[in-house]
Chains A and B, each alone.
Chain A
Amino acid sequence: SYELTQPLSVSVALGQTARITCGGNNIGSKNVHWYQQKPGQAPVLVIYRDSNRPSGIPERFSGSNSGNTATLTISRAQAGDEADYYCQVWDSSKGVFGTGTKVTVL
């Protein structure tokens, strides 16, 4: 079955740029979606189809996807960006989530 691998944690200084990777076999051929989940809350879609932002998501969130790695980039990181982030693809008629990355803003 298809697997998506994310780093366990990423730290970023306030105001700097965080990059969260999502690795998968030839993931560049798939559409990747990203979710933000704060403690005790439901996930929120922040990027869909590699690089599209839903209404209400700040431009500071962007995404890219090529080869075996998709990346979620958070620019000008704020304290409110501290959360778990999950990538997700649709593969072989089922949803597949990444392992999740905890982002800490220092």
Chain B
Amino acid sequence: DAGVIQSPRHEVTEMGQEVTLRCKPISGHNSLFWYRQTMMRGLELLIYFNNNVPIDDSGMPEDRFSAKMPNASFSTLKIQPSEPRDSAVYFCASSRPASGSSPGELFFGEGSRLTVL
């Protein structure tokens, strides 16, 4: 089975440009998470969706960031306009519906490395 697929793997852009990161979760998973990883701040949860509905976006840094999940098989994270401090690795993860009292394991993509010059 294919894992979580993220694109692009690497992106270099200039300050002020729009950046769109894409994620295809594992089929059958109903939760999707966007994380950002930097040396200074570690792994930060930006936003997560259950059944395509945003549940918690309190980690989204500011209005320049937005995320959508139009259907169960696709999500985007958009940064407009981008700034150098947005440079990081952005991870998407998905999980199965929790069964009983057991939470679903998160399956991570390989990440999108963003560099904003």
> Is the pairing of A and B real?
no
Question: A-side interface residues toward B, CB under 8 Å?
Answer: none
